[in-house]
Amino acid sequence: MTRGRVPGVVVLEPHHLTDERGVFYEGVRTDALTAVTGRPFAPRQVNYSVSRRGTLRGLHGVRVPPGQAKLVTCVRGSVRDVVVDLRLGSPEFGTYETTALDAESGRAVYVPEGVVHGFLALTDDACVSYLLSTPHVPGTQIDIDPLDPDLAIAWTAGAPADLELLLSAKDRAAPGVREAEAAGLLPYWRGSRHPAAPLPQRSGASG
């Protein structure tokens, strides 16, 4: 397990046992994950999404409370996974981080409460699994415009030139970060009530 730039985010790299039959690995051990994050993780709901190449899902989060941590893996195909720290008062407010997820590696990303998440499907029929710490509560989801210029996420950096982005109408209509902040949708960093820090300057490189 390795910690990311966004506080609380952990990337899990499973150890593969390979022989003539194929491969075996542990997808997650909740005791080990809890030891790293300092927070218990007991999945209460499991979701799957299947996406065509170029599909961009996100950015999505859950209001705090109730909050929702998630463990995200790609069980078929490959995706570019993105997490963004939008917790008001966080020292890394506005920072995003990308991780390559694919079925071959079994790599997974732990997304803590208050951090928004999305991904770009790089293959057809890409299947993503989400282990969720809380069940879905209607009306608590936070949607953020994944193409918000204030975030400047390099979704297609290094991707083939013919990759066309496909977004749902809901995601296209989602508010930007500043609009979401003004509407009181964003969570606070560890009980902080300080205003958000300025969004970091982007140099064009991925987070």
The residues carrying an active-site annotation are 60, 130
Tally the C-alpha atoms within 13 A of residue 143's C-alpha that lie toward its C-beta. Answer: 14
Q: Distance (Å, rounded) from C-alpha 197 to C-alpha 55?
A: 31
Residue 196 DSSP one-character state: P
Q: What totals of helices (H) and strands (E) does the chain contain, helices first?
A: 3, 13
Tally the C-alpha atoms within 13 A of residue 12's C-alpha that lie toward its C-beta. Answer: 23
Sign, CA dihedral 184-185-191-196, equals: negative
Q: Distance (Å, rounded) from C-alpha 131 to C-alpha 127?
A: 13
Report whether 183 contacts 86 (CB < 8 A): no
Greatest Cα pair distance, the chain, in angstroms, is: 57
Residues 6+ apart with CB under 8 A from 46: 129, 130, 131, 132
